Amino acid sequence: MLRWLTAGESHGPELIAVLEGLPAGVPVSLDGIREDLARRKLGYGRGSRMKFEQDELHLSGGVVQGVSIGGPVAIRIGNTEWPKWTEVMSAERTELSEKSRGRGAPLTRPRPGHADLTGMQKYGFAESRPVLERASARETAARVALGAVARAFLSELGIALVSHTVSLGTVEAPAGGPLPRPDDVAALDADPLRCFDGGTSARMVAEVDDTKKSGDTIGGIVEVLVYGLPPGLGSYVHWDRRLDSRLAGALMGIQAIKAVEVGDGFETTRRRGSEAHDALRIEDGTIVRDTGRAGGIEGGMTTGQVLRVRAGMKPIATVPHALPTVDVATGEETKAHHQRSDVSAVPAAGVVAEAMTALVIADAVTEKFGGDSVAETRRNLEAYLAAIPERLSTAREV
């Protein structure tokens, strides 16, 4: 079993992440984690903070000489914005000096679409600073760092992930086009929207420009694909062991994700049963499926086909043409707080979705195959595959 936790605020000193249950012997490189952190900052339409803030990465435990040693992996990511916030966000009671008064002014105009108002009601705050500090998607940097470690573990077992943007607002990549593969990651990261279709990407860039010009924001859909999976991760025997349920929870747990689809998802509901499933046939003595409509999951278990999940992100809630709200200090109707924000963070959400998927799959792998060292996990995986009778065998899609 893998467990993970994150802590830290958007303008606090640092984010902290812990991953417990990782077998020993997984190669973990600081550069590998840094690369994923850098990928999370990519994407046309992100706000100015992505340019001036650096992620300062520290590995504080669980990795020695570039290899995991079986203990909890502890990661710190320093917020380089911190020096501006030392008084306002101080853990100790601190009088604000003149220079911090503006920054520390109470936020009493809650932003619709954010956790602000309900968070104040729920936790008993008179202003929204303590709410937004933790609700912010700055926290996704910690999850991406954990996801990089999970991905390193999966890679040792021949399992690889890739994510891409399939739509931005109403601009959609053509349905039925070729799916990206793990070796397309560099090309996807080089694309302004992380879209696999060049023509669609150019239209997405124009859509971001148009949205920005009109003082608005935009959402979209990302897809995560996982290659090299064995059949049988997850289970049908209980709802909380179903892999689709665990993936949906993990993806829905990303800030601003409002919809999740497995395989053809909602499209499947519009089809007749004869056109909705993945029929089986024999090829060279092996069972094959010619379609991947179910997204590589049947009965809450991986089938060994490419796993395909989608997450839908709502438009950024801090709209530059600020939305109507109420000033909770005066009781008067007014406009919401707005300083800066992303026009779209859809490409970044793809990288975060990839990290969450890697963590869920790595958890399911440790559950099924165990292993205190990655060599033991690999042996158990190979023995399981070898024990599947020939008449039941399927090809593992890599």
Ligand X SMILES: Cc1cc2nc3c(=O)[nH]c(=O)nc-3n(C[C@H](O)[C@H](O)[C@H](O)COP(=O)(O)O)c2cc1C
Cα dihedral 339, 252, 180, 242, rounded to 10, equals 170
Interacting residues with ligand X between 71 and 130 (CB under 6 A):
113-115
* Token pair 């049908």: residue: 236
- The tokens of 186 are what? 């560099």
By beta-carbon proximity to ligand EPS, the closer residue of 161 and 313 is: 313
Residue 255 makes contact with ligand EPS by CB under 6 A: yes
141 scored as a contact of ligand EPS (CB under 6 A): yes
Count of residues interacting with ligand EPS (CB under 6 A): 12
- The amino acid sitting at 376 is E
Tokens of 242: 């179903």
Q: Is 198 annotated as a binding residue?
A: no
Specify the residue, 277 or 338, whose C-beta has the smaller distance to ligand EPS. 338
Residue 167 interaction partner, one of ligand X, ligand EPS, none, beta carbon < 5-8 Å per kind: none
CB nearer to ligand EPS: give 140 or 303. Answer: 140
Q: Which is nearer to ligand X, 341 or 393 (CB)?
A: 341
Angle at which helices 30-40 and 346-369 cross, to 10°: 140
Our CB check for ligand X shows the closer of 76 and 314 to be 314
Tell me if 317 contacts ligand X by CB under 6 A: yes
Instruction: Confirm whether residue 396 is marked as ligand binding.
Output: no
Would the annotation count 293 as a binding residue? no
Side by side, which strands form the sheet with 257-262? 171-172, 160-168, 220-227, 307-313, 257-262
Q: Confirm or deny that 317 is annotated as ligand binding.
A: yes
Q: Does 130 bind ligand EPS (CB under 6 A)?
A: no
Cα torsion angle, 36, 253, 19, 86, sign: positive
Pattern 328-347, ligand EPS, x by CB under 6 A: ------------xxx-----
> Is the Cβ of residue 53 or residue 156 nearer to ligand EPS in the bound state?
53
C-alpha 356/C-alpha 359 separation (Å) is: 5
* Closer of 49 and 396 to ligand EPS (Cβ): 49
Q: Residue 135 interacts with ligand X (CB under 6 A)?
A: yes
Rounded to whole angstroms, how far apart are CA atoms 137 and 53? Answer: 14
Should residue 343 be labelled a site residue for ligand X when binding is judged by CB under 6 A? Answer: no
Give the helix ranges, DSSP H, for the chain.
30-40, 49-52, 98-101, 116-123, 129-135, 140-155, 185-190, 198-213, 243-252, 265-269, 346-369, 374-387
Q: Is 270 annotated as a binding residue?
A: no
- Residue 349 contact, options ligand X, ligand EPS, none, Cβ 5-8 Å cut-off depending on partner type: ligand X
Considering only CA atoms, give the Rg of the chain.
22
Instruction: Name which of ligand EPS, ligand X, none residue 138 binds, using a CB cut-off of 5 to 8 Å depending on partner kind.
Output: ligand EPS
Q: Is 109 annotated as a binding residue?
A: no
* Shorter beta-carbon distance to ligand X: residue 306 or 345: 345
Give the whole-angstrom CA distance, residue 35 versus residue 323: 36
Q: Is the dihedral of CA 272, 274, 275, 280 positive or negative?
A: positive
Q: Rounded CA gap, 204 and 198, in Å?
A: 10
- Within the chain, how many helices (H) and strands (E) appear? 12, 17
* 308 belongs to an annotated ligand binding site: no
Instruction: Please name the residues in contact with 314: beta carbons below 8 A apart, sequence gap of 6 or more.
Output: 113, 219, 256, 257, 258
Residue from 136, 235, 245, 394 in contact with ligand EPS (CB under 6 A): 136
Residue 218 CB, nearest approach to ligand EPS (Å): 15
Phi, psi for 181 (deg, rounded to 5): -115, 165
Q: Any contact of residue 318 with ligand X (CB under 6 A)?
A: yes
Report in angstroms how near the CB of residue 212 gets to ligand X at its nearest: 13
Please, what is the Cα angle at 233 between 248 and 269, to 5 degrees?
45
Instruction: Using CB atoms within 10 Å of the CB of residue 346, give its burial: 0 to 12 exposed, 13 to 18 middle, 19+ buried.
Output: buried
Q: Which of 49, 76, 241, 396 binds ligand EPS (CB under 6 A)?
A: 49
Does the annotation place 40 within a ligand binding site? yes
Residue 32 binding ligand X, by CB under 6 A: no
- Chain positions contacting ligand EPS, by CB under 6 A: 10, 47, 49, 136-138, 140-141, 255, 340-342
Residues of each annotated binding site for NADP(+): 40, 46
- Chain positions contacting ligand X, by CB under 6 A: 47, 113-115, 135-137, 140, 254-256, 314, 316-318, 341-342, 345, 348-349, 352
